Chains A and B, each alone.
Chain A
Amino acid sequence: DTGVSQDPRHKITKRGQNVTFRCDPISEHNRLYWYRQTLGQGPEFLTYFQNEAQLEKSRLLSDRFSAERPKGSFSTLEIQRTEQGDSAMYLCASSPSGQGNYEQYFGPGTRLTVT
């Protein structure tokens, strides 16, 4: 399977702990996106990478959130001092570069539960 993969698939943590999620995009895709999805809502954009450069960040991405894509391949999303409101599904997507390539391929997501 050469699709987008995410690890872990589920994470349960206590409030105040730090968590880190990993995303491996489709290998030839230069663009990588993180979204957050809560129950009953559609995915909400968090941040976007073109290769290793983080080009866009949503206001949803508070200073407790940080994302990296150090070599332009996999990406990590870290949440520090987790809060119950951080409980959600965190989705990663990738797309190829090029004008008009807006179609995104999504991974299975990491479901975070903060107790």
Chain B
Amino acid sequence: AQSVSQHNHHVILSEAASLELGCNYSYGGTVNLFWYVQYPGQHLQLLLKYFSGDPLVKGIKGFEAEFIKSKFSFNLRKPSVQWSDTAEYFCALWDTGRRALTFGSGTRLQVQP
């Protein structure tokens, strides 16, 4: 069965610090990967997605993620976080069998001003 692991459950950073959130997946075939963000009191929004091609994908608000097939990873990065990046971040994998997304458990990011 396909699965997604996010090992950092809660991350606290100061403004301007660099961010890297880990995401590992379990699936042997072609993958389609996503990062979603949920700001406090808001619904899930897509940050970025990887389908194929360049393994370094850029998303909204300065976020990027790198797909490393050999490591089964799709880590999210941002060079300099802002207080407004405080949110919960979810990595997700498209499950071709169920035709739905399989999500990780999420990482809660808290950015201190």
Residues of A within 8 A of B (CB): 3-4, 33, 35, 40-45, 48, 55-56, 58, 91, 93, 100, 102-109
Bound: A45/B99 CA distance, A:
10
How many residues belonging to B are interface residues under a CB distance threshold of 8 Å? Answer: 26
Chain B residue numbers with a CB within 8 Å of A44 are 103
What are 10 pairs between A and B in contact, CB < 8 Å? A33-B100, A40-B9, A42-B90, A42-B103, A43-B101, A56-B99, A56-B100, A102-B32, A102-B49, A103-B34
Q: A42-B106, A103-B34, A108-B43 given as contacts; is B49 within 8 A of A56 (CB)?
A: no
Verify if B46 is at the interface (C-beta below 8 Å from A).
Answer: yes
B98 adjacent to A45 (CB under 8 Å)? yes
Bound: A105/B9 CA distance, A:
24
Bound: A91/B103 CA distance, A:
13
A45 adjacent to B102 (CB under 8 Å)? yes
Given contacts A41-B106, A48-B100, 4 further A-B contacts (CB under 8 A): A42-B103, A102-B34, A102-B101, A106-B36
Q: A40-B105, A41-B106 given as contacts; is B44 within 8 A of A106 (CB)?
A: yes
Verify if B51 is at the interface (C-beta below 8 Å from A).
Answer: yes
